[in-house]
Amino acid sequence: MAGVPQAKTPIAILAGRGALPFAIADAARASGCRVHLIGLTGFADPALAVQDDVHVTQVGRLLKSLRAAGCRSIILCGGLERPGRLRDLRFDWGVLRYLPRLWRVLRGEGGDDRLLRAVARFFHEEGIEVIGVKDIAPDLLTPPGVLTRLTPTPAQIQDSEAGLAALRAMGPFDIGQTLVVLRGRIVAVEAAEGTDAMIERVMALRENGRLPQKRGEGVLIKIAKPGQDMRFDLPTIGPETVEQAAKAGLAGLVLEAGRTIILDREKTLARAETLGLFVYAPLLDPAVA
Amino acid sequence: MAGVPQAKTPIAILAGRGALPFAIADAARASGCRVHLIGLTGFADPALAVQDDVHVTQVGRLLKSLRAAGCRSIILCGGLERPGRLRDLRFDWGVLRYLPRLWRVLRGEGGDDRLLRAVARFFHEEGIEVIGVKDIAPDLLTPPGVLTRLTPTPAQIQDSEAGLAALRAMGPFDIGQTLVVLRGRIVAVEAAEGTDAMIERVMALRENGRLPQKRGEGVLIKIAKPGQDMRFDLPTIGPETVEQAAKAGLAGLVLEAGRTIILDREKTLARAETLGLFVYAPLLDPAVA
């Protein structure tokens, strides 16, 4: 990791989907950094005031933009589903040069971790270091403790311990980082579908009677994978996650402190208070404190 | 376990949803056993010619029926979603007597394993042994080997190894027994939603471009949980599972030999052949051979 970025060169932010790139850009500027924002076409929010736009495959264009701006470090952030349909991709000439190295990355062999490490290695070989949220916007990371007035009950703590143990066991297999525990039973595990789709599934299982319908039960648990590269892909929640969890009748959210991100923290926690959900952030890895 | 049932007393079959109870009753009769079929109201197929019907909570009625028929052993089989809405349940007087012991079972504290072990203990205390498919219809169990003419490629074997390792790690947490691996990545994990819903999710993720759309890729893997009580709840597939997997564009099915069930084996494997799917059954636990 590059450590604290030097104020002399601007930080590049390669922005995918969602609100995280905005939050990171704001935080970087607030700490006195210059920012070079590059939007990933088709992913980045059009409301983002970017300096440049690239397609996910326009590697030549991206490197040229980074060099022209004098960037020595980059932060990759925001949602970036893998291209399912190769015909939707646009290529540039740069891609030909990098094709052998890019091929495995694009094919998406292996899980997300391997993919992301390959991307970081690629940038490093080009003289640009991939940095993380911790380096530029540490306040986005979830602080430890119970973050709402409402605290989890002993039964909910027990549910969250059961879920945390299962997530830790699954970690080496690069699956998901999120699951839902209801009355001691793991009722949903997230993989490629994403957190929102998983919460919707719990909602549907309650509606069709496959799960108990009593509301205010069940805990959503989200942690970083053991050994996760802190430079990217940190599990993220925001106000909508809380809204969704409330709709699904869950009692609260358990988020790993220091290795997950709460977007719009004030608003997110206020929504949780209003909707009667607890947010509890245990510190699982003392090394991140 | 009761071992090979005595031909003198009839075997009770408590039938839940689906085709498995039919298959077990046929197999038991073919091996010369008398059968006392009891359908679980709301679950058992109405086409099943039963000797008796009970609601899932009519414990007094069930025990009376078993004793009247002289049954000393019972096999519990077929789908039985947990009652999500308690108001849909019907009680009888017997339930009052057994209420303290039943309460934990009905509330569904903990995972399926604990629930089922509690049920087995309950029957045992009433002098009736819960037996398994292995004891009465061993031919329903998946035999080891590649069961189709089409065999898995080395890459598919590798995918299946990755999935098997993850399922084994998840075993102690009583989650699911089924997942889908695509290009080395675990893209779906089954929990409370069931196998069909999980396959449908993979289909949807392919259709909306979140997963590669190329067909003939991806492996469905289904195993028994490590240490699973062989008396019930064995993971089961049938012709529809193969149809679904083909619709989702998967390349094949990997089933644990000896500890999973293939319903209508001939028809299921014939459908796999027709649809171009392999079915591969590795023997994971030499003790079941």
Q: Which of B144, B228, B218, B221 is nearest to B190 (CA)?
A: B221
Q: Is the pLDDT confidence value at B44 over 80?
A: yes
Minimum-distance CB partner of A166 among B175, B179, B205: B175
Residues of chain A with Cβ-Cβ distance to B116 below 8 Å are none
Residue A203 confidence (pLDDT) = 96
Start-to-end CA distance of chain B, whole Å, equals: 17
Q: Residue B205 and residue A186: Cβ atoms within 8 Å?
A: no
Q: Which of B33, B36, B92, B29 is nearest to B61 (CA)?
A: B92
Residues of A at the B interface, defined by Cβ within 8 angstroms: 81-85, 88, 107-112, 162, 165-166, 169-170, 172-176, 179, 183-194, 197, 201, 205-206, 208-213
**Mutual angle of helices B239-247 and B265-275, in 10-degree steps:** 20
Confidence of residue A16 (pLDDT cuts 50, 70, 90): confident
Interval A211-232: pLDDT, tens: 888 899 999 999 987 766 666 6
ipTM of the shown complex:
0.75
Q: Which residues pair with residue A35 across a beta bridge?
A: A11
- Nearest chain B CA: its distance from A16 CA (Å): 15
Return the residue in A43, A186, A187 with the most chain B beta carbons within 10 A, the one to mutate for interface testing: A186
Percent of chain B with pLDDT over 90: 53
Residue A208 confidence (pLDDT) = 87
Q: Is the pLDDT confidence value at A103 over 60?
A: no
Minimum-distance CB partner of B166 among A108, A175, A211: A175
Return the residue in A17, A113, A177, A189 with the most chain B beta carbons within 10 A, the one to mutate for interface testing: A189
Percent of chain A with pLDDT over 70: 81
Average pLDDT over residues B192-206: 94
Look-up: residue for tokens 């039964």? A155
Q: Residue A188 and residue B191: Cβ atoms within 8 Å?
A: yes
Q: Which of B101, B20, B15, B5 is nearest to B59 (CA)?
A: B101
pTM assigned to the model? 0.80
Q: Is the pLDDT confidence value at A209 over 70?
A: yes
Distance CA B55, CA B49 (A): 16
Assigned token pair, A190: 């997230």
Compute the mean pLDDT over every residue in chain A, rounded to the nearest whole number: 85
Answer for the pair A257, A233: CB distance below 8 angstroms, yes or no: no
Q: Is the pLDDT confidence value at A74 over 90?
A: yes
Residue B188 backbone phi and psi in degrees, to 5: -155, 135
Residue B1 confidence (pLDDT) = 42
Return the residue in A114, A156, A210, A250 with the most chain B beta carbons within 10 A, the one to mutate for interface testing: A210
Chain B residue with Cα closest to A86: B212
Cβ-based neighbours of A167, under 8 Å, separated by 6 or more: A177, A178, A179, A221, A223
Q: Is the pLDDT confidence value at A59 over 90?
A: no
Minimum-distance CB partner of B185 among A110, A169, A209: A110
Residues of chain B with Cβ-Cβ distance to A206 below 8 Å are 84
Q: Residue A84 and residue B189: Cβ atoms within 8 Å?
A: no
DSSP string, chain B: ---SPPTTSPEEEEE-BSSHHHHHHHHHHHTT--EEEEEETTTS-TTS--SEEE-TT-HHHHHHHHHHTT-SEEEEESB----S-GGG----HHHHHHHHHHHHHHHT-S-HHHHHHHHHHHHHHTT-EE--HHHH-GGGBPPSEE-SSS---HHHHHHHHHHHHHHHHHGGGT--SEEEEETTEEEEE-STT-HHHHHHHHHHHHHTTSS---SS--EEEE-PPTT--TTS---EE-HHHHHHHHHTT--EEEE-TTSSEETTHHHHHHHHHHHT-EEEE----GGG-
- One-letter identity of residue B249: G
Distance CA B202, CA B217 (A): 11
Cβ-based neighbours of A274, under 8 Å, separated by 6 or more: none
Confidence of residue A86 (pLDDT cuts 50, 70, 90): very low
Assigned token pair, A30: 């607030």
